[in-house]
């Protein structure tokens, strides 16, 4: 059984001899919210446009909902909703009128969907207010409502949180979680800002200069970024006893290479060093590790670390 809805294999897109995407292979599993992170010009929009059928790859293959031929893939795209670049909304219309416009344009007869979508994205109390008087976050949520008109299973959102204040980002986060949990919609959301996207997504795909640099889950990201003391010694089992009995902590992890990550006492490493030394343990490596989300992102895309 296929447990993914989308798979790209070695997709390359070349514009005038320059590669916007190079051998991009990603797998999108259902029920997740994927954050596609990359700096300006990394290739995020190009990848999203190819998935949505607004552009075509120079080479490479794609599989969508189990279909591989271009004709079948095009038919399956009915199951995708997307907001690429700015939301397609008319500023002089109300939220409901905008939804109606797109509903009629697509030949959807169910009028109830208008109120249903407006409520869903939290714009139920905007009445006749014109979209030009909406905040940026409200406009983005309306754009998302428009992209939900065809009841998609996969939602593609290009930079919907770009420029939003923390409250606006939180509203989008709550909305996407709701779409994922209640409507079982899988989401791909792009951003150039990892800290801003943090916790909106359940999985992260880091793209740079047209190449996928890393894919990781939220848990893996948190592990990478959580500050800790990394301790390496000859007898890690003895060290654990000392951490528990002398320092009273079990807040550690034993890594496959037998190093210990200690999440307590990060700001009191002298005490740890002294205690373990006094108990006869010689540390061969003892350092503070972990990073801010921003520095981690920069380190993955190969830039200078700003310590």
Ligand X SMILES: Nc1ncnc2c1ncn2[C@@H]1O[C@H](COP(=O)(O)OP(=O)(O)OP(=O)(O)O)[C@@H](O)[C@H]1O
Residues that bind ligand X (CB under 6 A): 15, 20, 38, 40-46, 192
Task: Supply the minimum distance, in Å, between the C-beta of residue 8 and ligand X.
Answer: 14
C-beta of 141 vs 208, nearer to ligand X = 208
Task: Supply the minimum distance, in Å, between the C-beta of residue 52 and ligand X.
Answer: 13
Burial 30-48 (b: 16+ CB within 10 A, else e): bebbbbbbbbeebbbbbbb
Task: Supply the minimum distance, in Å, between the C-beta of residue 185 and ligand X.
Answer: 22
C-beta of 44 vs 173, nearer to ligand X = 44
3-state SS, residue 305? coil
Task: Supply the minimum distance, in Å, between the C-beta of residue 16 and ligand X.
Answer: 6
Alpha-carbon distances of 38 from 49, 57, 157, 297, rounded to whole Å: 15, 19, 14, 9
Helix (H), strand (E) counts: the chain? 11, 13
Task: Supply the minimum distance, in Å, between the C-beta of residue 49 and ligand X.
Answer: 8
C-beta of 102 vs 208, nearer to ligand X = 208
Tokens encoding 232: 């390496």
Task: Supply the minimum distance, in Å, between the C-beta of residue 18 and ligand X.
Answer: 7
Alpha-carbon distances of 244 from 10, 86, 158, 247, rounded to whole Å: 49, 54, 47, 6
C-beta of 12 vs 259, nearer to ligand X = 12
Alpha-carbon distances of 106 from 109, 149, 154, 155, rounded to whole Å: 9, 9, 18, 17
C-beta of 193 vs 199, nearer to ligand X = 193
C-beta of 45 vs 147, nearer to ligand X = 45
Alpha-carbon distances of 228 from 79, 239, 306, rounded to whole Å: 44, 16, 18
Residue 125's region, left for phi above 0, alpha for psi from -120 to 50, else beta, is alpha
């Amino acid at each position: 059984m296929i447990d993914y809805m989308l798979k790209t294999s070695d997709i390359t897109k070349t514009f005038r001899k320059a590669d916007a995407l190079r051998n991009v292979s990603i797998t999108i599993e259902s029920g997740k919210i994927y954050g596609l992170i990359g700096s300006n010009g990394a290739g995020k929009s190009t990848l999203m446009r190819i998935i949505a059928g607004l552009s075509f790859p120079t080479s490479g293959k794609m599989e969508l909902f189990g279909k591989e031929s271009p004709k079948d893939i095009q038919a399956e795209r009915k199951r995708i909703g997307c907001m690429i670049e700015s939301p397609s909304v008319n500023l002089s219309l109300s939220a409901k009128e905008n939804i109606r416009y797109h509903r009629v344009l697509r030949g959807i007869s169910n009028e109830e969907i208008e109120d249903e979508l407006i409520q869903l994205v939290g714009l139920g109390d905007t009445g006749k207010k014109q979209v030009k008087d909406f905040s940026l976050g409200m406009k983005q949520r309306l754009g998302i409502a428009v992209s939900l008109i065809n009841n998609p299973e996969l939602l593609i959102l290009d930079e919907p949180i770009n420029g939003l204040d923390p409250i606006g980002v939180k509203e989008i986060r709550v909305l996407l979680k709701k779409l994922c949990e209640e409507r079982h919609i899988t989401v791909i959301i792009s951003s150039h800002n990892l800290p801003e996207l943090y916790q909106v997504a359940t999985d992260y795909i880091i793209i740079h200069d047209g190449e996928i640099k890393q894919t990781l889950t939220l848990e893996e990201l948190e592990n990478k970024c959580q500050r800790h003391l990394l301790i390496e010694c000859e007898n890690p089992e003895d060290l654990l006893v000392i951490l528990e009995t002398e320092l009273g902590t079990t807040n550690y992890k034993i890594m496959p290479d037998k190093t210990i990550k200690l999440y307590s006492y990060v700001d009191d490493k002298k005490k740890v060093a002294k205690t373990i030394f006094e108990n006869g343990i010689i540390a061969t490596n003892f350092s503070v590790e972990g990073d801010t989300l921003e520095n981690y992102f920069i380190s993955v895309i190969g830039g200078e670390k700003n310590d």
